[in-house]
Amino acid sequence: MDANSKTMLKGDHDMLLAKVYDDDDGEIELGLGLSIGGCGGLRKSEEDLMPCCSSSSSSDSVKIPKSKIVGTKRRVVESVSPPNATSVVGWPPIRRGHRMPILANQIKSEQEELSKINNRHLSVKVNMEGTPIGRKVDLYAHTSYEMLAQTLENMFYGTHNALGSSRLLNGTSDFVLTYEDKDGDCMLVGDVPWQMFLGSVKRLRILRNTNMQH
């Protein structure tokens, strides 16, 4: 727990990423095998972890929202965080600027969605349980839950849509469509009016039906 509290002390959102691995594995991955002069995951955990979510205080660095998944009251839903991840400073060696723009966009859209709801786009990440690659969908390009479900079915099941319409929504498929709202709670898609949904949705998750507890 030491490393945990250590990482949160700095109050730097980048440390949240460390939390992902702490909570998932119960301990920091120290599997590097080289305890040389201070290298290794634990010691470095107070510094920035991944180059793509690093911070230099002089820049408008990006805080990765992915880590918000862990540690909230969302045990009912499996997190998509991978196990056995390494947490080493500056590894893998990817320049910080490389992936920042997309994430910056996600953050900005939280702030701007209300005022720009008519002529902007709201891209949220969609993950399907069992599929490693996340996708993104522009919610403002849709006008209803039906339309969204169609898009998602096309995205994840391909063009030969054997599922029929909106089985994701009516609970008859093996999968169910959920979303993470502003508070980090996992909610069933379709319960609230569409516009209200747009105002609170942060990301979408398609989960196996057996996981949901109603």
Binds another protein by CB under 8 A, chosen from 84, 111, 210, 213:
84
- SS3 at position 156: helix
Annotate 122-177 with DSSP letters as a single string.
-EEEEEETT----EEEEGGG-SSHHHHHHHHHHHHH-SS-TT-TTHHHHT-SSEEE
* Residue (98 or 208) nearer to another protein, CB: 98
Instruction: Say how many C-beta atoms besides its own lie within 10 A of residue 14's C-beta.
Output: 20
Instruction: Say how many C-beta atoms besides its own lie within 10 A of residue 201's C-beta.
Output: 19
- Bridge partners of 176, per DSSP, are 207
Binds another protein by CB under 8 A, chosen from 57, 195, 210, 213:
57
Binds another protein by CB under 8 A, chosen from 30, 39, 76, 117:
39
* Residue (8 or 52) nearer to another protein, CB: 52
- Contact between 82 and another protein by CB under 8 A: the answer reads yes
- Contact between 162 and another protein by CB under 8 A: the answer reads no
Question: Which of the stretches 2-10, 45-53, 170-178, 179-187 binds another protein when contact is defined by CB under 8 A?
Answer: 45-53
CB 45 within 8 A of CB 3: yes
Q: Where along the sequence are the contacts to another protein (CB under 8 A)? A: 31-34, 36-39, 47-48, 50-52, 54, 56-61, 81-86, 88-99, 101-102, 104-105, 108, 119-121, 123, 132-136, 138, 140-141
